[in-house]
Amino acid sequence: MDISCAFPTTMATAEHVKIAEDLGYHRAWLYDTPQQSPDVWMILALAAAKTERIGLGPGVLTPSLRHPMVNAAATAALDALAPGRVAVGFGTGCTGGRAMGNALPHILHQGNRLPGTVSDPAFRGTRSFRQVDAHRALLR
């Protein structure tokens, strides 16, 4: 059985990932919270330099926070630093706005959903899937 671990993205995270590798963890996921943490890609690069075996990746990467080209370039760079050890987990990031102090749209407070708008979970997912598709295409 492979066991992974997850870490908040801090300047000390690369050292924590090294400890996780020494303890035998399979993969280290780092949270993508740019509004309150150092850049996830920079910290993953630091972790790649300090480790040899443990898998690395952002989990979950919120595609709407960066242009797909930026995410693809960062993924490719990390893969060059840690060949065969990179995985990327994607998510919609629906709580990112709250973490930045933004209120949820009023319609969400009422428990209502408007099809085709950001209040519709299917819309957020569709937008994220388009970003993921762009990310994949850019890595080809």
Query: What domains sit in the chain, N to C, each tagged with a CATH number?
Result: 4-139 (3.20.20.30)
Judged against a pLDDT cut of 50, whether residue 99 lies above it is answered with yes
pLDDT of residue 36: 84
Give percent of the chain with pLDDT exceeding 90. 51
pLDDT of residue 16: 98
Task: Give the residue with greater pLDDT, 94 vs 107.
Answer: 94
Ramachandran angles phi, psi of 86, nearest 5°: -100, 135
Judged against a pLDDT cut of 90, whether residue 56 lies above it is answered with yes
Structure tokens at 79: 């893969």
Judged against a pLDDT cut of 80, whether residue 111 lies above it is answered with no
Q: Are 52 and 94 in contact (CB under 8 A)?
A: no
pLDDT of residue 136: 77
| Burial of residue 86 (number of CB atoms within 10 Å: 0-12, 13-18, 19+) | buried
